[in-house]
Amino acid sequence: MKTKKFWLHREQFWIATLNTVEPCGMNIATFKPKRKLEQIPLIIPFLRTAKTGSDIVTRHFQILKQELPDVFEHQIITAYSRHNNLRNQLVRSALPALSQ
């Protein structure tokens, strides 16, 4: 049994081949694959105010994206970096046993 996904894929094939949206009136609703946007990481240290800074940058990026859609085709993603702690600075070593 052929699924809906199969028929939609087949329909897209004929739309692309015939360069028409409605070949013989068969496709009333078209299936458009989502375009995956490249992600730009916004790396900020994990702080109390980091969320506020991230929101400000994201808001301004969305405004720029609306004004210049051809230039800003990317998606911004926020990544938080953690601070170094004592565990990052310690070194494991094997010392010889003390002889008496």
pLDDT digits (tens, 9 = 90+) for 14-49: 777 776 665 555 555 555 666 677 888 888 888 888
H-helix segments, 1-100:
4-18, 50-67, 86-89
CA dist 52 and 33 (Å) reads 34
**Domain-wise residue ranges, the chain:** 1-33, 35-83
pLDDT digits (tens, 9 = 90+) for 71-99: 888 888 888 888 888 887 887 777 788 77
